Amino acid sequence: MEAGCLLVFDLGNRESFRVIERQYTEVCNRVNPYTVLFVLVGHKCERKEREVNQEEVEQFASALGAPYIEASARTGHNVAEAFELLTRRIYQGYLSGEVSLHERWGKIHKDKPAENKTNKNEPAENNKCCVL
């Protein structure tokens, strides 16, 4: 099974950044031979004090082949965007053949209303989405 994974570390805690490399290796070993697509997330970006600098994070993200985004749960900055970035990454990986769906996961249905997510008070055209 292929999947996506958010690798989250605290920008103000160098040890949390070091742990990410081990977590990356563990995830890859656990899912081998399948593919996992990653997004690297530096959180607590609202804080001024940082122990991890931008250059080393970007180098690590590049080595992983993963996009990098900074987020803040406190302010809500880029929280939804991090999940959306991972979702888009998985979908693009599916379209490019980098990852494939496992038959137990169902299928991707473009422009069909989500059966259990539709809002009965909205017109049907507003209930279209991509469902896995």
pLDDT at 80: 93
Asked whether 71 and 81 are in contact (CB, 8 A), the reply is yes
Judge if 129 and 75 occupy the same domain: no
What are the beta bridge partners of residue 52?
none
Query: Where in the sequence is the domain holding 131, given as residue range(s)?
Result: 103-132
Q: For the segment 56-108, what is each residue's pLDDT rounded down to a tens digit?
A: 999 999 999 999 999 999 998 989 999 999 999 988 888 888 877 666 555 55
Say how many domains are in the chain.
Answer: 2
Judge if 83 and 59 occupy the same domain: yes
Alpha carbons 113 and 121: distance in angstroms, whole number: 14
**pTM of the full predicted structure?**
0.72
Rg (CA), the chain: 17
By residue count, the chain amounts to 132
Judge if 11 and 45 occupy the same domain: yes
